[in-house]
Amino acid sequence: MTGMRAHLWLQIAGFVTWLVSGIPMLTSVARGTVPAPVALAWACGYVAFGVAFGISGRVHGRGGLGGRRALLAIQAASGLVMVHTATDGLAAGTLVVVAAQLLDAFSTRGAVAWIVIQTALLMASFWTKFGVVPAITIGGAFAGFETFALATASLAHSERAAREDLSRANAELVATRSLLAEDSRVAERLRISRDLHDAIGHHLTALSLQLEVASRLTSGQAASHVEQAHAVTRLLLSDVRDVVSRLRETSRMNLAEAIRTLAASAGSLEIHLDVPDPLELDDPAQAHALLRCVQEIITNAARHGGARNLWVRIERRDEGIDLHARDDGQGTTDLKWGNGLSGMRERFEEHAGRVEFTPGAGRGFEIHGFIPTAETAS
């Protein structure tokens, strides 16, 4: 929410700068003191900047890097056209607006290089119009404004990244706590079911056998009571077996809630989940491995892929668990086996599973993994 407010304020400030920078030139055009070709060139640049800046605000954080860089190039070119054709240098303020957006499409080094080139072209335009000294002084002043805008944007990006990292870490802790709590409940159900089966079940079975023998050795009214006790014992033994069966059936880990907790705190990354509820697993180790893999997928998509959308589908099949994930990030043509991808592959292989990674420059990143059931693996 804070990031959205900051972006809104940037949009407002940018539009105000754009509108105000055109007032002197619009006044001169209205008075007829500007030649028609110059006025037309300035008007084209003025309109082009406003349209490109408006589109940038609408697609903020979405779309590919190529589109965002193209919009920035249009804004910078339009601003330079306005500076060159106007009778004043006020339109150079639009280049400060461009500088404030550079980190959405470039690294810090790339943004600095952009500002250097942009400022050099600005100084050249001032040089042809006002001379060397005004070009250096005015251009240097605007270079300082652009650098300040870039530094402010960098701080905002760093703060947003730190906030999203903290949110993800908190979600991971909550999901892990939920998984551990579920693991404890499952272990307790299994312990109770074993105790019921091994202790009470065995004793009731022995009692039933003894009563059956006693019913054959007695006669008359005593035999009737022994038979009734035998029937009650058989009924109680059946009830105990039913309770043990229900405890074992419910002693499965539901992974869906933990995964949804992770997805709910992914920051600006929008996660589209297709996960059955409940997603029950017999093996707590498998559940933990899948949760950690989903966590790594979310981290990679947000931090390294620059994605805005992530689609995660987990399907329970007779032969095992199928995991498929893809994002709309920048992708890559050079797959690097860092700790995250290597750890994910190791987790799948630890449970006799497999995982495949499909990278592609400009078309996101895709992951397909499978963990078999114990019966299928054997």
Q: pLDDT, tens digit, for every residue of 52-89?
A: 888 887 766 555 667 788 889 999 999 999 988 887 78
Grouping H, G, I as helix, E, B as strand and the rest as coil, residue 277 is: coil
Q: Is the pLDDT of residue 113 over 90?
A: yes
Q: How many Å apart are CA 378 and CA 372, to the nearest integer?
A: 9
Q: How many Å apart are CA 265 and CA 169, to the nearest integer?
A: 9
Q: Which residues contact 152 (CB under 8 A, 6 or more apart)?
A: 100
pLDDT of residue 248: 59
* Mean pLDDT computed over 371-376: 72
Q: In sequence order, what are the beta bridge partners of 354?
A: 370
What is the pLDDT confidence band of residue 1, given thresholds at 50, 70 and 90? very low
* Mean pLDDT computed over 334-358: 82
* Mean pLDDT computed over 106-119: 90
Residue, of 260 and 376, whose pLDDT is higher? 260
Q: In sequence order, what are the beta bridge partners of 323?
A: 314, 369
Per residue in 241-274, pLDDT (tens digit) is 776 666 555 545 667 777 887 777 666 678 888 8
- Amino acid identity, position 164: E
Angle formed by the axes of helices 2-21 and 36-58, nearest 10°: 170
Q: Among the listed ranges 71-75, 177-181, 344-348, which one has the minimum average pLDDT value?
A: 177-181
Per residue in 25-50, pLDDT (tens digit) is 888 888 888 888 888 999 999 999 98
* 353 touches 369 (CB < 8 A): yes
Residues 173, 162, 11: CA angle, nearest 5 degrees: 130
* Mean pLDDT computed over 178-203: 68
* 46 touches 123 (CB < 8 A): no
Residue, of 263 and 2, whose pLDDT is higher? 263
137 token code pair: 């002084």
Which run of H or of E encompasses 272?
Answer: strand 270-274
Residue environment code for 292-327, b if the CB has 16+ CB neighbours within 10 A, otherwise e? bbbbbbbbbbbbebbbbebbbebeeeeebbebebbb
Per residue in 118-169, pLDDT (tens digit) is 999 999 988 988 888 888 988 889 999 999 988 988 888 788 777 777 776 7
95 token code pair: 């280049």
Each domain of the chain, given as residue ranges in start order, spans: 2-164, 190-249, 253-377
CA 321 to chain centroid, in Å, comes to 22
104 token code pair: 């959405």
148 token code pair: 């300040």
Q: How many Å apart are CA 31 and CA 51, to the nearest integer?
A: 26
* 152 touches 99 (CB < 8 A): no
Q: Is the pLDDT of residue 116 over 90?
A: yes
Given the candidates 3.40.50.300, 3.40.630.30, 3.20.20.70, 3.30.565.10, the CATH classification of the domain at 253-377 is 3.30.565.10
